[in-house]
Structure 1
Amino acid sequence: MDCVFCRIVKSKEPAYVVYEDEYVIAILDKYPISRGHTLVMPKKHYRDITEIPSDELCRVIKVTKAVAMAVLKALNVPGVRIIQNNGAEAGQVIFHIHFHVIPMKGHIMGRHYLTEEEGREVSELLAKAVKEVLSNMG
């Protein structure tokens, strides 16, 4: 199977990691819609929401919530959009279930390529904030 997210999980592809534990990884989107656009996914490969077991989905959504809270705080944005697409017709491009956590501050201008400078800066900022949020969530 040639899945870019599986390659990232196995450290065969670079990514800016915001959070990682035994089951879940959160990375910055390579082509973000806005600064801090983060993808949260299980480390194990599941095509979409219909394949992932409920207990594993719960782990992923807990981290998704923590990332959303961290984005709001660390990036000082007034809103966050959470999107999860299932199937090509729904806009799914990479067929490994993942949640988009997109910071919202006014109008979306469109995607851009994540630069190394932005990747380092934002991933460090969010990694610290996610860790803090998760420690407070219990």
Structure 2
Amino acid sequence: MSFQVALGLEANCLTGYLKNISRNVAEKFLLTIKENDMSAYDSNNIFAKILRGEIPNHTVYEDEKVLAFLDVMPQARGHVLIVPKTQALELSDLPLEYAQAVFATAKKIIAAQRKVLQRHGIVQMQLNGQEAGQSVFHYHMHLIPGHLHELGEHEDKMADHAELAALAAKLREAIA
């Protein structure tokens, strides 16, 4: 590998690192949530609003404990979020029966993603706390089809809702 190529790779890594630092600094000023303080749970967070039906979503799976839906700003096609129907900032706050429901749901959705999207690699990701990169303070799990190195950042614009609706229908059918 030439020096110029190596330098270019290092510059790209540094640029990504600086973007993360800038984002983290901004988050520290904008967010006032205390780690593991359930009194800081914001019942008006976007997932709480989705659970209450105040914001529409493209549901993939739902039962009495969880709602799973397509991310409207996906990191890859078929990016699903699993959200428990209880107030929990992160995994350490999540009651065991809801954690079990989240993981049981993840197994169903991963099988459906593999069948529908023909992708065998599924990134299962869950962030605990602001320092780890959590941006919505309601526990949730990401299931993102594809290779880890293919994943982009969350899109800065919404995906096409007709495409999301069609994909959600295919995933629901594969789960049934």
Structure 1 length as normaliser, TM-score? 0.89
Structure 1 CA distance for aligned equivalents of residues 123 and 168 of structure 2: 18
Alignment of 1:66-81 (within 5 A): 66-81=108-123
Could you say if the C-alpha distance between residues 43 and 120 of structure 1 is closer, same or farther in structure 2, counting changes exceeding 3 Å?
same
Structure with higher Rg: it is 2
Listed as ranges, the gaps of 5+ residues in structure 1 are: 132-138
**Residue 157 of structure 2 is aligned to residue 115 of structure 1:** no
* Structure 1 or 2: more helix by fraction: 2
- SS of residue matched to 2:145: strand
Q: Report the AA paired with residue 111 of structure 1.
A: H
Structure 2 length as normaliser, TM-score? 0.70
The structural deviation recorded for 1:74 is 1.1
Partner of 2:53: 11
Structure 2 CA distance for aligned equivalents of residues 109 and 60 of structure 1: 24
Aligned residues between the structures: 131
Listed as ranges, the gaps of 5+ residues in structure 2 are: 1-42
- Root-mean-square deviation (CA), in Å? 1.4
Choose between structure 1 and 2 for higher RCO, CA contacts under 8 A separated by at least 6 residues: 1
Alignment of 1:1-138 (within 5 A): 1-105=43-147, 107-112=150-155, 113-131=158-176
The structural deviation recorded for 1:109 is 4.2
> What percentage of residue pairs aligned between the two structures are identical?
32
Q: Which moved more, 1:110-119 or 1:93-102?
A: 110-119
Structure 1 CA distance for aligned equivalents of residues 150 and 169 of structure 2: 25
